Structure 1
Amino acid sequence: MVHDFDPFALRISGDFGVRWYGLSYMMGFICAYILITWLAKRQRAGLSVQMVGDFITYAAIGTLVGGRLGYVLFYGPDLFMKFKSEFPYWGVLAVNEGGMASHGGIIGIVIACLLYARKYSVNSLYLLDLVAVTGPIGVFFGRIANFINGELVGRPCDPTYPLAVKFPQDIVSVARSGSRETDGACSGC
């Protein structure tokens, strides 16, 4: 099978629309909200059900800001100095130029938990535990979006494997290198 998924769940016009990647973030935060609400009803650790929405908002902002700044700091520092006359004007805000870094998102979530704990007098370790419990759900949805976008491909496998997927960028790189071996052009799911 050749990977040919459209990264847009709903294309509005040109390069603008709802992407699977954005939906995966949304689903991760919704699932985290549901699970943390369920836990808050059963635990006596200082986070009430009414506080969960604010906490998820802090975590979402921490994830997005941390993820983007992590990418810019670690992989594209030139984006700090890139300015354009059209939206989004500043390279740091142009998420279509590079994207986000998971380690930056993790740092952002930790900072968001510390800020929330300080503002609302909640145990910061409890909040970090909640994030540790719900984070894998977000990672699950994120990896599905990575697959749809053709990112983070797996290791080379036998092309006859029934779940093997050939990614167009790998097929082109194998063709350009002149290699006769096509095993490098597919990755297992």
Structure 2
Amino acid sequence: MLVHPKFDPVAFHIWEWPIHWYGLMYLAAFGLFLWLGNRVVSRPWNAARGWVRRDIDDLLFYGVLGVVLGGRLGYVFFYKPGDFLKNPLEILQVWHGGMSFHGGLLGVIVAMAIFAWRRGFKFLEVGDIVAPCVPTGLATGRLGNFINGELWGRPADPSLPWAMIFPQAHDGGIPRHPSQLYQFLGEGLLLFIVLWLFARKPRPMAAVSGLFLLGYGVTRFVAEYFREPDDFLGLRALGWSQGQWLSVPMIVGGALMMAWAYRRAARLAAA
């Protein structure tokens, strides 16, 4: 049976300023977005639509604001609205933790809409550029969760070779699923490979975005069966977690978006 090594959350210091691993994971995510985004816009069909590398720089700026603001507000409203209503100043105390992917996604959607409006691009076209570059950021985020020893998994059979004890859980040494690594592999690496290969050829507008929503929704829904539900929420209706219920609209919306994209492309080809 494995035991989480309880990494020091501080990677190193610059003079007296602590540099946390989780911050480095965010930095890696933004760097990967720039590198991958530049490759995406350099593809002939995207360059022909007027995309240039400077657009990726600007998208990153908008995206960072969307991730931080949306992620924090999503956590506030999706997970602890009552607690933050009692102490609204704690909303600003992001150093205490508390970010929501689904809230961050909504924040990024708003950021993309503003970018598309200001630059004259179609919103769904912007989504197709961004989508293949997102899973690597999700992967680095899950690595950050694992290093911090947070968001651990549900109890696992002790005979499972990779079952892990998380001392941070203060649960008496119960072996658990390292669900952070499951999410790293699923919504991170696997989803990246699928999207990157899919987007290597011209696709109907909104197809890549739809596949991202569908793929993330499915991988997150499955991973939630191994992830310990938030203790202040527990399981909801049907025995599903809050994360699963928030993933259902993504699965349905992604499937509908892909169907719409290909039907629209067929109508345009027949016209």
TM-score range relative to shorter protein: 0.7 to 0.9
Q: Distance in 1 between matches of 2:14 and 2:36?
A: 32
Task: Return the offset for 1:109.
Answer: 0.6
Task: Return the offset for 1:152.
Answer: 2.5
Q: Taking structure 1 as reference, are residues 159 and 20 closer, same or farther at Cα in structure 2, changes over 3 Å only?
A: same
Q: Taking structure 1 as reference, are residues 13 and 150 closer, same or farther at Cα in structure 2, changes over 3 Å only?
A: farther
Q: Distance in 1 between matches of 2:134 and 2:85?
A: 29
Contact 2:116 2:122 in 1 (8 A): yes
Q: Distance in 2 between matches of 1:100 and 1:147?
A: 15
Number of the residue aligned with 2:54: 50
Task: Return the offset for 1:137.
Answer: 0.7
Indicate the RMSD between aligned Cα atoms, in angstroms.
2.4
Number of the residue aligned with 1:32: 33
Task: Return the offset for 1:81.
Answer: 5.6
**Aligned length, in residue pairs:** 173
Q: Does 1:76 find its partner at 2:80?
A: yes
Q: Does 1:64 find its partner at 2:65?
A: no
Q: Distance in 2 between matches of 1:19 and 1:45?
A: 40
Instruction: Give me the TM-score of the superposition, normalised by structure 1.
Output: 0.80
Task: Return the offset for 1:57.
Answer: 0.7
Task: Return the offset for 1:60.
Answer: 1.1
Contact 2:112 2:126 in 1 (8 A): yes
Q: Taking structure 1 as reference, are residues 13 and 91 closer, same or farther at Cα in structure 2, changes over 3 Å only?
A: farther
Residues 6-39 of structure 1: CA deviation (Å, up to 9, x unaligned): 222125699x622211111111111111111112
Number of the residue aligned with 2:8: 6
Q: Distance in 1 between matches of 2:110 and 2:73?
A: 13
Q: Taking structure 1 as reference, are residues 51 and 131 closer, same or farther at Cα in structure 2, changes over 3 Å only?
A: closer
Contact 2:25 2:144 in 1 (8 A): yes
Q: Does 1:186 find its partner at 2:176?
A: yes
Contact 1:80 1:92 in 2 (8 A): no
Contact 2:41 2:129 in 1 (8 A): no
Q: Distance in 2 between matches of 1:145 and 1:164?
A: 19
Considering Cα pairs closer than 8 Å and 6+ residues apart, tell me whether 1 or 2 has the greater RCO. 1
Task: Return the offset for 1:135.
Answer: 1.1
Q: Distance in 1 between matches of 2:145 and 2:97?
A: 13
Amino acid corresponding to residue 11 of structure 2 in structure 1: A
Structure 1, unaligned stretches of length 5 or more?
A: 84-89, 176-181
Contact 2:62 2:112 in 1 (8 A): yes
> SS state of the match for residue 152, structure 1?
coil
Q: Distance in 1 between matches of 2:72 and 2:34?
A: 22
Aligned pairs (5 A) from 1:1-189: 1-3=2-4, 4-11=6-13, 17-42=18-43, 43=46, 44-77=48-81, 78-79=83-84, 82=87, 90-159=89-158, 161-170=160-169, 172-173=170-171, 175=172, 184-188=174-178
Instruction: Give me the TM-score of the superposition, normalised by structure 2.
Output: 0.57
> SS state of the match for residue 12, structure 2?
strand
Deviates more, 1:31-40 or 1:146-155: 146-155
Contact 1:80 1:91 in 2 (8 A): no
Amino acid corresponding to residue 35 of structure 1 in structure 2: L
Higher helix share: 2
> SS state of the match for residue 155, structure 2?
coil
